[in-house]
Structure 1
Amino acid sequence: MVMLADTRFSTRRRTLAAALAAQRIDSMLVTHLQHVRYLSGFSGSNGALIVNKDLSAQISTDGRYLTQVAEEVPDLEAVNARQCATALLEKVSGVRRVGFEADFVSVSEFERLQAACGEDVTLVPVSGVIEKIRLIKEPLEQTRLKEVAALASKAFEDLLAAGELAVGRTERQVAADLEYRMRMAGSERVSFDTIVASGPNSAKPHHDASDRVIEAGDLVTIDFGAHRLGFNSDMTRTVIMGHTTEFTQEIYDIVLRAQLAGVEAATPGTALVDVDKACRDIITEAGYGEFFVHSTGHGIGLDVHEAPSASVSGQGVLQPGMTLTIEPGIYVPGKGGVRIEDTLIITQGAPEVITTTSKDLVVL
């Protein structure tokens, strides 16, 4: 059988080089680890990459990862150095304009980079170029995102089926059980700290998980994600423990209507502000606008939060291949809150929802 060469990374570097040429930049120093991985395939925790306008490139990492970088990046020369970025800059000669990732470099790091440059090398701040390339997910990226989303969805469904979300258990116990199930299903780690927010804690969008004991009548919001093969998932479901009340039923129904409207709006050519508006208008018209305190959604991929952003100030329009979460919420201090979140892949028609767990109201 003939094995085809993996050209994903060289193709991405070619796209980057073309974008930089438009800014008269000769080389790009890449230090953000997710971008190093995106452009080379290297998944270690210390590394940097330099991409040149002639499409040549070098990667640097330290001795801990020399075997790994040889396996993951067989097409590039690897420079062995602990200070990866400065080691690559020291090899740059002649009159060169070298871009650096302005959004990921501190002032002190910039000073170190500048000190490593020859006198004819000029460092040029660059922002958003690689992020723009990453916006459209390639078929393999979409497959990886579907796989990790399915893994997390199944773990949550198994948690409910096993009775591990129950009155009398603590938020922390439920979070631990869910994370264990994701791990056993193949997750390498969680995408972010698991949120299990019960009762009044559900009115805190980013509560995490505490030792509070879950009680009958509580709203319980669970926001969680798995990480596998570099990619992340993100999903939120809210359940009600024991019995509903007029308040819990009302806000659940409102958030579900808003969430479904956001999913329906997420089609190619739709402005991101309009996706946000589709959700926000329903919540506002129901009288809870002041309690929807965050944006509607974000992209997901190698990072759990990445472009694009569906918010009141979101920029641009949706295109096929983008990802987007739709996660409206209502949070009433002292009473409780509801958030429902799916992850979507934008397609030519209706979006593909890859977090497949039911959003019907569940009373446990």
Structure 2
Amino acid sequence: MQQNETKRAWLVLQDGSVYPGVSFGAEGTTVGETVFNTGMTGYQEVLTDPSYYGQIVTQTYPLIGNYGINNDDMESGRSWVKGYIVSEWCETPSNFRVAMDLDAFLKSQNVIAIAGIDTRALTKKLRESGVMNGAITTEYDESKKDALLEQIRAYTIADAVAAVSCTAPASFPKAEGSEGDYHVVLCDYGYKRNIVRSLQNRGCRVTVVPGHTSAEEILALRPDGIMLSNGPGDPAENTAIIAEIAKLLPSGVPIFGICLGHQLTALATGAATCKLKYGHRGSNQPVKDRDLDRTFITSQNHGYAVEGDSFDTNLGRISHVNANDGTVEGIRYERYNCFTVQFHPEASAGPKDTAYLFDEFIDRIKDAKGDR
């Protein structure tokens, strides 16, 4: 790495700590919630995951950008992160699919980034103190630090789903040669493209609808199944969406929720959510499936969780738990034709261990249609 170390950048956290480093990507000042991701690969998917809306992402893996950016691994049409922090970025990527390097991509997306700081020390701080607001700036002035800290401490993530959701429906055909012919409506709270691909490969035509689409409009599309996607922000703020999910649940149409969709469904049934100290973000989170009595490695990206004690067990059961901290990772509803998980079974770049949940969703669709 032969980066221009005269081009400086600074990370400033709300506790007043300052980390000097090297600037890459765009220049200027950006403020967001500082979090960390423990994945060793998949940085392009992280950068284009709408669930990171409003957040400055720290990669704990020390070298980022070594296989560049390609045209196939985008999880949405753009980058959503507020800023990007790495220990070292690679200027000379090597991959047969590479279209541009990380620096060029970040510049094209107007993402301000910083390298050359001790990401291990930063991650330790966020684990011990909890996620905190911060700013990356190429314009740092010690005499104006107090004004910047005031801006950092005032930052909040608001109207996140509305910011990332599509504004009009979009249709995707099933994959050529796939078995079955099912119609799934995907409610877009910030969906990742691999959710659509996972459904297409299982014989599903997919209609993506904006996150605030009403239950009546969704059911009027005559879906064989409904998916509730991942997305950013505090789930409890989405009161209108929660009310629409409550209307969908008694419909009998099979429903599968992922990440934010999992949290919103729990809220729709009277459970509560809470903010985690530093969240789960990475591709190495162990989750136990109680029904299978097996532990799987999962990809996750969330800062909130369903409070297990708040869930009404008359409605169903907690089906998955996090093997590290015991938090709720999945619910199978028995009163409704619905199941939800906190992690990402569609994970791209992986792991693929929990893709079996898409097969369960298809089986539920087949049962509802009388195809089995």
Q: Same fold (TM over 0.5)?
A: no
The structure whose Rg is larger is 1
Normalized per residue, the structure richer in strand is 2
TM-score by length of 1: 0.32
Report the TM-score, using the length of structure 2 for normalisation: 0.31
